[in-house]
Amino acid sequence: MTIKEIGKRAKEISYRLGRMSAGEKNDGLKTAAEALIARTDEILKANEQDMAAGEANGLNGGLLDRLKLTKERIEGMAEGIRQISRLEDPIGSVDDMKKRPNGLLIGKKRVPLGVVGVIYEARPNVTSDVFALCFKTGNAVVLKGGSDALESNRAIVRVIREALAEKGLPADALQLIESTDHETAKEFMRCHEYLDVLIPRGSARLIRTVVENSTVPVIETGSGNCHIYVDETADLSMAAEIVFNAKTQRIGVCNSCESLVVHQAVKDEFLPKLAERLAEKQVEMRGDPAACEACGALLPATQEDWGTEYLDYILSIRTVSSLEEAIAHINRYNTGHSEAIITGDYANAQKFLDEVDAAAVYVNASTRFTDGGEFGFGAELGISTQKLHARGPMGLEALTTTKFIIYGNGQIRP
């Protein structure tokens, strides 16, 4: 099938999906979860083919680990689908219904987006995840996964489609683009006739490619160059614990801390204290000259460090002489993800919350909390670092839109 044919099928089935009740959708999800468990061997066999090809092609260890499926991982995928089935269905609620002076009753009804396209790399668990989020919200989904995971994705998609069909539910709710060449990817990104939104999930490079080439509206999930600012009134023990947590609790995630900004009044006391704590995990600290002066453990930072998302045991450290300077530095170098201030001062806390431009701004807490689960959304589609449509952790609602519904009794415009 061509991209257009796939898109057209998805569009057609999207109307039916939009009409399905929460009960039908939840049944479909449970069925899909059961089928993944029941047909685990078939999926593992397909995954072995991908793994063998990946090893032959010299994929690195990290990528191979992401690609690999096990019985436990497939159980995890099934459990993820079941969890989504238990969330409240956002579709169909009507907000802000108001009577206008002319008698028209106007409200905003929550509805599916329609057809969601997702482009991602070699992580087969994304396949079932994204299916579940889209099915729950009544959207048809078209997936384009990385070529390294093609056999695994084929198997997962086949199992879910067949499970839906057996229950009389629409298999075309989930389609996979099997061709992996660049021309197909480009065509997909320009298929605005049928796609309502395109979501890239993966590396910064993948996301950039999609943003540059897509004519379909994109929801961008970005990288995180997250800062923690320790001001002159901070509880320095709390500050050290929070920086230690945000830097080291999990390396390689977008909400980990990459850069520390510290007020010059406390640098001499704070930096040696922090260095001691971070030494437990062998974190390399790179500071500006004033920071290096305050603590012998630091290496000198270069200009490049301020804009770098290390995803590693490295922390850059900048000293400032005021809150204003800290905010300006953060607004210049951050990626719009998560930023925190550690302070004991009321006005400084409020000013930081007001003026730092990011999806999530914290007072006295670790940036590691920026996460759909931690925010109480149940499921997460990713963390948006753009400002349109959805910003910050995206729950089910990010996969919906609204339409105005208007009840009249013969009104015409004068």
Residue 204 binding a second copy, by CB under 8 A:
no
| Beta-bridge mates of residue 117 | 142, 198
List of residues 6+ apart from 93 with CB closer than 8 A: 109, 110
233 lines the binding site for a second copy (CB under 8 A)? no
CB of 19 to a second copy, least distance (A): 6
Residue 93 interacts with a second copy (CB under 8 A): yes or no = no
Tell me the C-alpha distance between 376 and 379, whole Å.
8
Q: Interface with a second copy includes 391 (CB under 8 A)?
A: yes
Shortest distance, position 401 Cβ to a second copy, whole Å: 4
For a second copy, how many residues bind (rule: CB under 8 A)? Answer: 69
Tokens, residue 219: 């929801």
Query: Can you give the C-alpha Rg of the chain in angstroms?
Result: 24
Tell whether residue 241 is a contact of a second copy (CB under 8 A): yes
Alpha carbons 199 and 245: distance in angstroms, whole number: 30
CB of 357 to a second copy, least distance (A): 7
**Minimal distance, residue 313 CB to a second copy, in Å:** 17
Q: How far is residue 15's CA from residue 50's CA, in Å, rounded to a whole number?
A: 35
Provide, rounded to whole angstroms, the least separation between the CB of residue 273 and a second copy. Answer: 16
Instruction: Please pick, from the candidates 33, 173, 360, 394, the single residue that binds a second copy as defined by CB under 8 A.
Output: 360
CB of 374 to a second copy, least distance (A): 7
374 contributes a contact to a second copy by CB under 8 A: yes
Contact at 8 Å (CB) between 240 and 270?
yes
Nearer to a second copy, 25 or 154 (CB): 25
| 346-355 helix and 323-333 helix, angle to the nearest 10 degrees | 20
Q: Which listed range, 29-37, 44-52, 286-294, 384-392, lies at the site for a second copy (CB under 8 A)?
A: 384-392
Asked if 347 is part of the footprint of a second copy (rule: CB under 8 A), the reply reads no
Cα of first residue to Cα of last residue in the chain, in angstroms, is 51
Give the three-state DSSP class for 296: coil
